[in-house]
């Protein structure tokens, strides 16, 4: 990881990344956050938020009874003598699985769980969002199995296929015989609308879900014995999926496999000389302090937390259409105009800016509207524009930042089409009845070369004045600037010199060499780097991009000059 010294508005915690730099973003390898720091963050979250909220609702006394902790117990089950002692404290993943157990549950479905032909649990008349008082993992197994049945098929297909629907009506009861269920097989695949790939969704067996449920219930029981307990007699402790989910997220459940983006926090945030533990703990503490007034009340937390986004999984047809369109445009730009390979691809790319067009962008592409970025989100309270302060997803993909810049596949396909167009230019023009070419005057080539050199001079002047005052050239924070200079100034000088050489020697037929060179020289500028332009000074970046357009004009004008008669070099 490369350390930077400036202050940033955004910080991304992503596992297994190699570098962290950028004027507007910090990228921190999340696996470097220690276990102790994660445990500290989880305890901080639990001091602010609970996995439940208080709610008063009617209870069918013939089926259920309410404990002093606000938990419900089936009336047919003997009273539990366990108070949760001897259980280990729940982990961040336990809270995640607890949230997954209750997520998208169809409350009006009746499910009957049987073992060895005996009914052991039923959800009939079960209070909405209530938490069942379980005294063992075996008891918890019945509860989580029932919840896996009464949810959308896509979230628990394995359990759904084993459950039997007793009748044709939607509200007719379901039955599940646990004797025929592999308790160690994956029982769920849940995404909480973070729009992660299938392999990144929350998956767990019934045994894992039961263990998590048992430990979280035990934690609620321990809390009920403390002075901080606030439930009144008759009130229920009902599941808050949102709070439980964010307890898990802030407690570090995504640090090994997913991504957590923290941004727009009040104050100035940097990572110079700061460890991964400090960066994580400090940001989690700031988030928790902001959401404290909204926690544990209804609908308080729901006003700052939600999940949304634009899925990338249905974008393949559009991607194919985009590639074909790119190739057609580049081919006919090369055939019908003096645009060369680089210019054709660059012009064609502008038509797709802001749209999902590249293979890499199917899952990690950019979007013009940050609200469409997929993930679980926390609003910055009282923000007029509803800015996000946290975005979490189970996928470790790169976050979406800014507008889409077409990536590798789109550029390669466009370049291939432009090359083919230049080869078959004459035949295509004759077949389509195009008019004859009018050669470009020599002065246009020299003007384009002069513009490129002028832009390079302006870039160098900015750099010179900056470095004379700051002397930061070799710092890691200047990596983007060095890339820009190394890939722009020598390239610009070489392109201008080669163009003049071709014109003076009357060998402009070799202009494709110049054009391909300019195209490949864009690699360090991330023209091909899967749509992500690195962070750099915006003024200098504009001049650099202007310089590259001037280089494209050089190649195009040389290609249309038709100076191929016998001549002498200089």
Identify which has the larger pLDDT, 225 or 233: 225
- What would the two tokens of residue 469 be? 């005052």
Average pLDDT of the segment spanning 385-397 = 83
In sequence order, the 6+-apart residues with CB closer than 8 A to the CB of 561 are: 439, 440, 441, 442, 444, 445, 503, 508
Task: Determine the Cα angle at 467 with ends 462 and 469, to 5°.
Answer: 105
- Most confident by average pLDDT, 220-224, 307-311, 316-320: 220-224
Which pLDDT score is estimated for 46? 95
Q: What is the pLDDT of residues 72-118, one digit of tens each?
A: 999 876 444 444 445 689 999 999 999 999 999 998 999 999 999 89
Average pLDDT of the segment spanning 335-357 = 65
d(CA 287, CA 264): 10
Which pLDDT score is estimated for 566? 54
Which pLDDT score is estimated for 401? 45
Which pLDDT score is estimated for 7? 58
Which pLDDT score is estimated for 567? 52
Average pLDDT of the segment spanning 423-434 = 81
Which pLDDT score is estimated for 368? 40
Average pLDDT of the segment spanning 330-354 = 71
Range scoring the smallest mean pLDDT among 318-327, 340-349, 489-498: 340-349
d(CA 142, CA 178): 8
Average pLDDT of the segment spanning 235-242 = 92
Q: Which residues of 200-221 are buried (b: 16+ CB within 10 A; e: fewer)?
A: bbbebbbbbbbbbbbbbbbbbb
Which pLDDT score is estimated for 350? 62
Is the pLDDT confidence value at 531 over 70? no
d(CA 165, CA 171): 10
Which pLDDT score is estimated for 163? 93
Which pLDDT score is estimated for 369? 47
- Most confident by average pLDDT, 154-158, 397-401, 459-463: 154-158
Torsion angles phi and psi, residue 339, rounded to 5: -65, 135
Range scoring the smallest mean pLDDT among 335-349, 369-383, 398-412, 553-567: 398-412
d(CA 493, CA 509): 20
Residue from 199, 253, 244, 247 nearest 15 by CA: 253
Q: β-strands 72-74, 64-66: how paired?
A: antiparallel
Identify which has the larger pLDDT, 474 or 129: 129
Is the pLDDT confidence value at 542 over 90? no
Q: β-strands 388-393, 375-379: how paired?
A: antiparallel
Cis-peptide into 393, omega within 30 deg: no
Please report, for residues 10, 80, 231, 320, 397, the alpha-carbon distance to residue 375 in angstroms, rounded to integers and kept in the order given. Answer: 16, 40, 33, 25, 11
Torsion angle of alpha carbons 325, 326, 331, 334, nearest 10°?
130
Average pLDDT of the segment spanning 182-204 = 86
Does residue 120 contact residue 60 with C-beta atoms inside 8 Å?
no
Is the pLDDT confidence value at 453 over 60? yes
Which residue is it, tokens 């989100």? 377
Q: Where are the beta strands (DSSP E) in 318-451?
A: 375-379, 388-393
């Amino acid at each position: 990881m490369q350390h930077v010294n400036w202050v940033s508005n955004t910080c991304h915690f992503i596992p297994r990344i190699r570098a962290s730099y950028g004027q507007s973003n910090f990228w921190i390898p999340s696996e470097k956050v220690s276990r102790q720091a994660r445990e500290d963050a989880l305890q901080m979250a639990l001091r602010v938020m609970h996995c439940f909220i208080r709610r008063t609702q009617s209870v069918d006394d013939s089926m259920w009874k309410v404990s002093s902790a606000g938990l419900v117990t089936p009336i047919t089950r003997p009273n539990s003598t366990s108070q949760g002692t001897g259980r280990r404290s729940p982990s961040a993943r336990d809270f995640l699985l607890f949230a997954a157990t209750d997520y998208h549950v169809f409350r009006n479905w009746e499910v009957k769980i049987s073992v060895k032909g005996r009914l052991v649990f039923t959800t009939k008349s079960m209070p909405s969002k209530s938490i069942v008082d379980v005294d063992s993992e075996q008891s918890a197994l019945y509860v989580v199995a029932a919840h896996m049945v009464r949810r959308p098929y896509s979230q628990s297909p394995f359990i759904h296929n084993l459950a039997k629907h007793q009748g044709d009506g939607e509200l007719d009861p379901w039955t599940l015989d646990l004797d025929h269920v592999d308790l160690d097989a994956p029982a769920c695949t849940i995404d909480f609308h973070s729009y992660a790939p299938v392999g990144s969704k929350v998956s767990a067996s019934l045994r894992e879900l039961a263990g998590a449920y048992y430990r979280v219930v035990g934690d609620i029981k321990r809390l009920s014995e403390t002075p901080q307990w606030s439930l009144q007699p008759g009130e229920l402790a009902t599941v808050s999926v949102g709070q439980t989910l964010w307890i898990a997220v802030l407690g570090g459940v995504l640090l090994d496999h997913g991504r957590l983006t923290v941004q727009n926090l009040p104050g100035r945030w940097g990572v110079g000389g700061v460890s991964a533990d400090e960066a994580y703990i400090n940001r989690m503490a700031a988030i928790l302090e902001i959401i404290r007034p909204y926690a544990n009340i209804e609908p308080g937390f729901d006003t700052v937390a939600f999940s949304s986004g634009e899925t990338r999984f249905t974008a393949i047809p559009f991607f194919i259409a985009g590639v074909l369109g790119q190739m057609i445009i580049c081919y006919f730009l090369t055939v019908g105009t003096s645009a060369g390979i680089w210019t054709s691809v660059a012009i064609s790319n502008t038509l797709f800016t802001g749209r999902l067009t590249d293979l890499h962008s199917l899952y990690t592409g950019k979007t013009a509207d940050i609200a469409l970025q997929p993930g679980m989100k926390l609003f910055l309270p009282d923000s007029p524009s509803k800015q996000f302060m946290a975005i979490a997803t189970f996928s470790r993909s790169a976050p979406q930042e800014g507008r889409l810049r077409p990536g590798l596949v789109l550029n390669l396909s466009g370049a291939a089409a432009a090359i083919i167009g230049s080869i078959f230019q004459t035949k295509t023009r004759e077949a389509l009845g195009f008019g004859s070419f009018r050669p470009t005057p020599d002065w246009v080539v020299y003007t384009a070369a002069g513009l490129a050199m002028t832009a390079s001079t302006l870039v160098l002047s900015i750099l010179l004045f900056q470095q004379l005052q700051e002397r930061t050239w070799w710092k890691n924070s200047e990596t983007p600037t060095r890339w820009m200079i190394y890939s722009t100034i020598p390239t610009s000088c070489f392109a201008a010199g080669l163009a003049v050489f071709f014109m003076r020697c009357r060998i402009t037929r070799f202009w494709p060499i110049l054009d391909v060179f300019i195209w490949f020289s864009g690699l360090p500028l991330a023209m091909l780097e899967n749509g992500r332009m690195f962070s750099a000074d915006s003024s200098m970046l504009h001049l650099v991009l202007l310089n590259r357009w001037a280089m494209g004009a050089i190649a195009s004008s040389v290609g249309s000059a038709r100076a191929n008669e016998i001549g002498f070099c200089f």
